[in-house]
A and B are shown apart, each in its own frame.
Chain A
Amino acid sequence: MKKQNPFGENLSRRTFVTGVAAGAALLGSAGAVAKPRQSTLNSDAVDTLRGNRFDLDIGYTPVNFTGRNRTAVTVNDGLPGPILRWKEGETVTLNVTNNLAHDSSIHWHGMILPSNMDGVPGLSFAGIKPGETYRYQFDVNQSGTYWYHSHSDFQEQQGLYGAIVIDPAEPDPVAYDRDYVVLLSDWSDESPHDIYSHLKTEGHYYNRQRRTAGDLWDEIREKGVAQTWRDRKMWNEMRMSDRDISDVTGYTYTFLMNGQTPDANWTALFQKGEKVRLRFINAAAMSIFDIRIPGLKMTVVASDGQNIEPVSVDEFRIGVAETYDVVVEPDGDSAYPLFAQTIDRSGFARGTLTPDPALRAGVPTMDYAPVLTHRDMGMGHGSMSGMDHGQHGSASGMDHSRHESGDYSPHGGRPELGGMQGTWFTDNLGRAGHGSDSPIVHMPSEYGYGVDMRSQMPMDGLNDPGIGLRDHRQRYGRRVLTYADIRNLTLTIDRREPTRELQLHLTGNMERYMWSMDGIKFSDAEPLVLKYGERIRITLVNDTMMTHPIHLHGMWSELETGDAEYIPRKHTVIVQPGSKISYLVNVDAYGRWAYHCHLLYHMPGMFREVRVV
Chain B
Amino acid sequence: MRRATMKPIVILSASLAAQVVVAEEPASTGEHAMHGARPAYSEQPASPNLQHAPDAPDQQMDHEVLLTNVTIDQLERRENDSGALEGSAWIGGDRDKLWFKTEVEREEGETEKAELQALYSRAISPYWNLQAGVRHDFELESDSRNWGIIGLNGLAPYFFESDASLFVGEDGDSALRFETEYELLLTQRWILSPKVELNFYGQNDRETGTGSGLSDAGAGLRLRYEFTPQFAPYIGVNHEKKFGNAADFARDEGESPSETTWVVGLHAWF
Contact surface of A with B, Cβ cutoff 8 Å? 102-103, 114-116, 121-127, 129, 151-154, 191, 193-194, 196-198, 200-202, 205, 208-214, 236-239, 449-452, 509, 511-512, 514, 521-523, 531-533, 588-592, 596, 603-604, 607, 611, 613
Contact = CB atoms under 8 A, between A and B. Distances in A.
B186 A212 contact: yes
Given A531-B35, A588-B41, A590-B45, 19 more contacts: A114-B44, A116-B48, A122-B50, A126-B53, A213-B185, A236-B158, A450-B123, A451-B126, A452-B126, A509-B126, A512-B123, A522-B62, A523-B62, A532-B38, A532-B39, A532-B41, A589-B44, A604-B61, A613-B31
A196 B3 CA distance: 10
30 contacts: A102-B56, A116-B47, A116-B48, A121-B54, A122-B62, A124-B47, A127-B54, A127-B56, A127-B60, A151-B61, A152-B58, A152-B59, A196-B65, A197-B5, A198-B229, A201-B67, A205-B229, A210-B188, A214-B186, A237-B157, A449-B94, A449-B126, A450-B126, A512-B126, A514-B94, A531-B35, A532-B35, A532-B41, A590-B46, A604-B65
A531 B28 CA distance: 11
By CB atoms of chain B within 10 A, which of A449, A589, A591 has the most?
A449
What secondary structure prevails in chain A residues at the interface with B?
Answer: loop
A269 B38 CA distance: 52
Given A121-B54, A202-B229, A449 B64 contact: no
B119 to A, nearest CB: 17
A103 B44 contact: no
A498 to B, nearest CB: 15
Contacts of A589: 44
A294 to B, nearest CB: 29
Interface string B46-76: 1110101110111111111101010000000
Interface string B8-28: 000001100110000000001
Interface in B87-135: 94-95, 123-128
B61 A450 contact: no
- Counting from the closest, the 10 A-B pairs by CB-CB distance are A591-B47, A153-B58, A533-B39, A115-B47, A122-B60, A604-B63, A449-B123, A126-B52, A121-B59, A103-B56
Contact of A603 (B18, B47, B58, B61): B61
B13 A523 contact: yes
Interface of B: 2-3, 5, 13-14, 17-18, 28, 31-32, 35, 38-39, 41, 44-48, 50, 52-54, 56-65, 67, 69, 94-95, 123-128, 155, 157-159, 184-188, 192, 229, 269
Contact of A211 (B59, B60, B65, B185): B185
Contacts of B2: 191, 194
A200 B46 CA distance: 37
B62 A607 contact: yes
A137 to B, nearest CB: 12
A154 B159 CA distance: 32
B59 A123 contact: no
A492 to B, nearest CB: 16
A236 B157 contact: yes
Contact of B54 (A103, A197, A212, A592): A103
B22 to A, nearest CB: 12
A200 B65 CA distance: 10
Contact of B186 (A200, A213, A523): A213
Contacts of B126: 449-452, 509, 511-512
Contacts of A193: 3, 5
Contacts of A522: 62
A208 B228 CA distance: 11
B35 A152 contact: no
Contacts of A451: 126
Nearest to B49: A592
A592 B31 CA distance: 15
B155 A611 contact: no
Contacts of B186: 212-214
B228 to A, nearest CB: 9
A466 B49 CA distance: 40
A523 B3 CA distance: 23
Contact of B58 (A102, A114, A592): A102
Nearest to B183: A210
Given A533-B41, A590-B47, A450 B159 contact: no
Contact of B59 (A122, A201, A238): A122
Given A122-B50, A533-B39, A590-B44, A197 B32 contact: no
Contacts of B45: 114, 116, 590
A511 B123 CA distance: 12
Nearest to A210: B185
A114 B42 CA distance: 11
Contact of A607 (B39, B61, B155): B61
B58 A103 contact: yes
Contacts of B125: 449
Nearest to A240: B159
Contacts of A151: 61
A197 B3 CA distance: 7
A227 to B, nearest CB: 17
Contact of B127 (A115, A191, A205, A511): A511
B61 A239 contact: no
A239 B41 CA distance: 50
B48 A125 contact: yes
A314 B158 CA distance: 41
A449 B47 contact: no
A151 B61 CA distance: 7
A122 B50 CA distance: 7
Contacts of A153: 58, 61
Nearest to B58: A153
Nearest to B64: A523
A426 B44 CA distance: 28
Choose among B18, B125, B186 the residue with the greatest number of A CB atoms under 10 Å from its CB: B125
Nearest to A197: B3
Contacts of B155: 239, 511
Contacts of B69: 201
B62 A449 contact: no
A71 to B, nearest CB: 15
B35 A611 contact: no
Contacts of A521: 94
A197 B94 contact: no
Contacts of A125: 48, 52
Contacts of A603: 61
A590 B76 CA distance: 62
A197 B67 CA distance: 7
B144 to A, nearest CB: 32
B100 to A, nearest CB: 15
A533 B187 CA distance: 57
Nearest to B10: A523
Contacts of A123: 47
Nearest to A152: B58
B14 A592 contact: no
A102 B184 CA distance: 43
Contacts of A238: 157
